[in-house]
Amino acid sequence: MASSSESNALKRRVYVKGERLTIEEDLLHEFKGHRNFSKDDIPQAAIINRTQRPISRNLCGFLNTGVGGVVYCGVTDGGEVQGIRLTNYQKDHVLLSVQDLFSRFEPPVDSSMYTVHLVPVVTDVNHIPEITAHPIDLEQRNTPHLLRTSKYCWCDRDASAQHDFGMLPPLYVIEIEVFPWDPECKLSVTPTTPIHPLFCNEERLYFIRRLGGLHQPSLEEVIQLAEADTARYHTRKE
């Protein structure tokens, strides 16, 4: 079955710790060293020092260009793979955070418009360790995660406790992929020329992705985007 071999291929996809990616930060790719998705996840000190900005801004930018893009969490600005350690519970937390984040966009981002890949990071590409399944306590797993805060969630405390026992959870690169705008999407502004709405993030700010990075668009740029969408749609139909 194509789908299962495809998913096997995805399972085998890994990054190597310390490798430098061949892709660069551009219109479609953004590297982040942290996993603070919304403004509420950023620690106070990082807000004051302006050392971290919420990942939601980049995702918002990808949605508003209409051509999609990928945020890679666990990769330095220079494109070096570091990875982020995640227990199974923290993986749940990440997936829930991203879902929660997109539900706070305006309009809310449909789950068909994005996907999240947790790609393992290994130290030696010739020795890909089996990801050992740490036992999962179902009752624990059903404990609600603490979202929209920079405070430690129970899953982070659990990870620290494991760490104290010398158990290091595996490293991952978290890839959040925003798909190119699909004119069939129910969020289309008009049914006859299905251009995408202008999305704002949970801060109620609008961003677009440009080659030089992210910025907040002027009205003129919003009109240009709509025109580009329209042109793409009609070219596609011919």
Q: For the CB of residue 147, give the shortest distance to Zn ion in the complex, in Å.
A: 8
Radius of gyration of the chain (CA): 19
Burial tier of 34 (Cβ tally within 10 Å: 0-12, 13-18, 19+): middle
Q: For the CB of residue 106, give the shortest distance to Zn ion in the complex, in Å.
A: 25
Q: Which is nearer to Zn ion, 95 or 185 (CB)?
A: 95
Q: How far is CA 98 from the centre of its chain?
A: 7
Q: Which is nearer to Zn ion, 104 or 145 (CB)?
A: 145
Q: For the CB of residue 143, give the shortest distance to Zn ion in the complex, in Å.
A: 8
* Of 7-15, 86-94, 158-166, 170-178: span binding Zn ion (CB under 5 A): 86-94
Q: Which of 153, 171, 174, 198 touches Zn ion (CB under 5 A)?
A: 153
85 sits near Zn ion (criterion: CB under 5 A): no
Q: For the CB of residue 60, give the shortest distance to Zn ion in the complex, in Å.
A: 24
Q: Which is nearer to Zn ion, 36 or 65 (CB)?
A: 36
Please, which of residues 45-64 interact with Zn ion by CB under 5 A? none
CB of 206 within 8 A of CB of 198?
A: yes
Please, which of residues 93-112 interact with Zn ion by CB under 5 A? 93
Q: How many CA atoms lie within 13 A of 78 on its CB side?
A: 5
* Of 24-32, 38-46, 138-146, 207-215: span binding Zn ion (CB under 5 A): 138-146
35 sits near Zn ion (criterion: CB under 5 A): no
Give the span between the Cα atoms of 238 and 236, in whole angstroms: 6
Q: Which of 145, 148, 215, 232 touches Zn ion (CB under 5 A)?
A: 145
155 sits near Zn ion (criterion: CB under 5 A): yes
Give the span between the Cα atoms of 90 and 150, in whole angstroms: 14
Q: For the CB of residue 92, give the shortest distance to Zn ion in the complex, in Å.
A: 7
Binding site for Zn ion (CB under 5 A): 93, 145, 153, 155
